Structure 1
């Protein structure tokens, strides 16, 4: 039996041993091949001892090397699935974990039943990956000649199989030497520009676009020493790879590529009811660089949301945006997001929708898709955190991942707004459904506390709201929520303080006063006790992470 080789990385020995016991208890197919106290120790052991790994279960924040850095470095040489465990609900950690390829993440303390359910899903993905690898190996053994069909198959696998380890593919003799240029061609809208189509007609036009690509390449490449490959990436989306076996003119391949793309775009506009946007990458000489170029083009195409469709977007566009020096997300974006959160908590759908439309108006003024994406991710995770507070996470743990990928597949700003609004309405309904399950008196108390965080809040004052004895109410509240009244008030005040600290223009003493702490020193001491750093340290770290993430994007 081929086991699932797993390593566990966590700086807390008790948690590390507990995870190891849990994994082993799930069946003989699970094999722990190593446990480590930090990412550096794990990385060096795996590399030096050539350890094969199927699954990495790791904490996010650790000394020496954190979990995100460890996964990033190990993925340069190994192919595996990553599963993050963290006690942090900061949106930057979750966003980074998703970008590092996490198949899932789970918050501490670990629930055994939920953990097993998630590992079963990971197991299924590992089995699918092994089956795919087995099928690929069988195909490669049978193939004896390098043909165009085989090359297209390899290229297709490279672009749709995200978990394929490129170092395992022997491409050295599969493709010619020379300069390569990759382009991504995508229809701008599901509905054509001049009429509505039936599904059968849509299939006909998809076939027509394929013929246009084929004929354009045939006609345009007759007088050039250029080879081409094109393949699908789902309906109405296509990849195009060009290769010129020439070193005489450094600009020849670029000129040829842009000429072909312009003619192709023009032909599709003329002969079909659609427009297309094209992302054109820079030249590269190693065919194995196709994967990194693919990811850059998918990001480049997101400028369609800012500038509209029917454009050819060149890689220099991203470089120019970086050179301009983005000022980052305006404070007004954070304020609008918090207004949305407020009305969701108040279960006022009309006001939440109005705040959302204002939020969209603010997004429409941003000049970079990376800023639009970051602003949306901020809102998505704030809403998801509220849902987690209502115990909704265990019901649908992948719902945040779906939202994070929303911008990747949007073809216009209008579509992005529509899908975002649809997701948020769904989340509002889920949150309200979970909130209504608690006793009315508890909901009444929570709502009152949320609305009076800046005031003097006493147990007697709260208990009087629901006509209970203060001592009995304290016991009643903890039995229904799992937390004491004092801890709940402190938690909500400090959560509100974190939101306000993410707005750069607010003073810390004003934030302290607005959440009910009139002694700034006491507020700072309490904040550090709960969150591990002072308010000013939290603010500095937040904006440093935000700046770093924009550079990475």
Structure 2
């Protein structure tokens, strides 16, 4: 807590400072000024909590100084000192809510008691203001959430909160929604969210704009800016400020809605921001999108084949690395900043492309290092199209590296795999059947297969059956109840458990995801 002593007599100032143990009564910093004019400047610069000042001083007396500070520091607590028992000064001091009026010559104990009383009053004012601020922020947050609903549905509650908040809003007030998405799955601590909100409000004062703020579903933050419609220069400054404020997140994107007049149009601004935010998937992380961004021209986009996943499978099984690279470049060009495609449409296609890559690896008997990854979960966590595309590029690079590193498969292993591909529908298919087919003992076949492939025969057989089941599930003509028997399981429940263990989804859930 800061105390400012203002007195034109140096001896008085030095005496007061040296006669009291300020730290013991909660005063961390003691400042001093030699008259009212300097006291005014010191107060503006250092913002003290308590001012202990003489009444009569040259240039500007204590009463006049405190009157000017009322608008700058409304919460400062004054304590007056004077050698004159002047009733007019006493009346002025009372009007300025002075805690005490100490007569000279000064008594250190009397000063200490007066400062303690001022300190307690100051702390009480701060607590009250803090509680009011929290209450006001909560109401502002509730109002912001209400504005994300159609105005007609929430009008009564909106009007009530507007009255409580005393915001400067008229029918001609412009509203602009700004919606921000981050990769975090944790709520911001209240004090941190509040600090960021207050910094936004402070910045917007430059443009005579105010705002309200709310968090929505953890990853989303919604700001409603209101006031005069910002011009191009103001919009640019606001965009730069928001990007800098949220740069603490490694991945985020921001979208601003249309600027519309009247609080009843705030919802429309919000929906336009949400629609724009969907397109942010096709932009680099950290991008701020606004209605003034132009969509790329559609005429120069390359065309994709009707079934890109089939073309990729053909290229991969033919081991055509150059053709695959050209195919991926075409994909990147087609989807990059394409505002006519929804993120889920892109993810659905890329899911099929990843499956094509896995199928090609299976056909070529390649083992990819991240084979056990749950692909659907991985795609859900993708933040941007660039990240999605690079994942596919890395996997194709790993595919061709595996092609280069894989020697011709042992003929016995090929015979085993070929036999399994013909007999996997047979529930009674056993290791003994396989060993008899290749004219080797059961124990030797198991050891040989594990050494050559890194998998046990049972693991390979289960994986082969599960992959076949996934292919059948992607075709709605096949009933789930019939698929289990088609891949070698007579017990449908056991098949369902095995499938969920392998994929993370039940057969019905998997089919729904594929649909």
| TM bracket (short chain) | 0.3 to 0.5
Structure with greater contact order relative to length (CA < 8 Å, sep ≥ 6): 1
Q: Which one has a bigger Cα radius of gyration?
A: 2
